[in-house]
């Protein structure tokens, strides 16, 4: 009898040991929060007062483990300064980091004050374009256009006002007798001075 009890105890101990070696079933925990059809206001930590970004996107995913939020299916991107439109941007996706800086692979920016359009980036390289809330923006493969000039460059680094813009490797075409001009944020056909009333 004691022999059978010892055998049963040994079997139970072996089974307990084997059970301990089997890994527990993995439960898939989805991290972050996903929202659909989002309108969002971003109040960045910035030295400039009154800056607000407005975004509309098909989806936003907040990833706390990465300290990032990703907007996909972008429908709207605007930078407002003291309730005045400063810049619009269009991109397929935008990533916002914990410091409120923005990243994407390719972007087109419109700056109404100078009737300026700048497209730059590298498709497929998620953080080719950097928009730093205090320093400005940077990225490769630039196409620039305003009412008076067209320019391409290998890269750009600039503040938001384009006062300190660096564009190495540039090829510039300037209209010496411009047919267009910038009026209220739009490129319009230039009216010769004698014809203006």
Domain boundaries, the chain: 33-190
Tell me the C-alpha distance between 194 and 178, whole Å.
15
pLDDT at residue 68 in the model: 93
Task: Give the three-class secondary structure for 20.
Answer: helix
CA distance 121 to 174: 23
pLDDT at residue number 31: 63
pLDDT value at position 58?
Answer: 96
Q: What is the model's pTM?
A: 0.77
| DSSP three-state, residue 175 | coil
Residue 68: exposure state from Cβ atoms within 10 A (0-12, 13-18, ≥19): middle
Q: CB of 59 within 8 A of CB of 34?
A: yes
| The pLDDT of residue 185 | 78
CA dihedral 175, 178, 183, 186 (to 10 degrees): -60
Low-confidence ranges of the chain (pLDDT < 50): 1-2, 4, 27-29
């Amino acid at each position: 009898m004691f022999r059978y009890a010892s055998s049963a105890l040994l079997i139970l101990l072996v089974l307990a040991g084997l059970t301990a070696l089997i890994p527990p079933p993995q439960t898939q925990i989805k991290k972050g929060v996903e929202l659909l059809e989002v309108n969002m206001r971003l109040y960045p930590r910035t030295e400039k007062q009154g800056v607000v970004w407005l975004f509309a996107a098909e989806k936003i995913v907040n990833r706390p483990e990465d300290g990032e939020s990703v907007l996909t299916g972008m429908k709207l991107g605007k930078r407002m300064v003291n309730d005045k439109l400063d810049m619009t941007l269009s991109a397929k996706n935008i990533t916002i980091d914990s410091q409120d800086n923005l990243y994407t692979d390719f972007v087109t920016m419109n700056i109404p004050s100078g009737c300026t359009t700048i497209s730059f980036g590298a498709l497929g390289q998620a953080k080719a374009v950097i928009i730093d809330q205090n320093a400005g923006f940077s990225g490769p493969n630039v196409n620039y256009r305003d009412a008076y000039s067209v320019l391409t460059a290998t890269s750009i680094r600039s503040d938001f006002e384009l006062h300190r813009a660096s564009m190495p490797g540039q090829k510039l075409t300037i209209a010496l007798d411009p047919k267009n001009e910038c009026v209220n944020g739009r490129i319009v056909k230039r009216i010769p001075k004698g014809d203006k009333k």
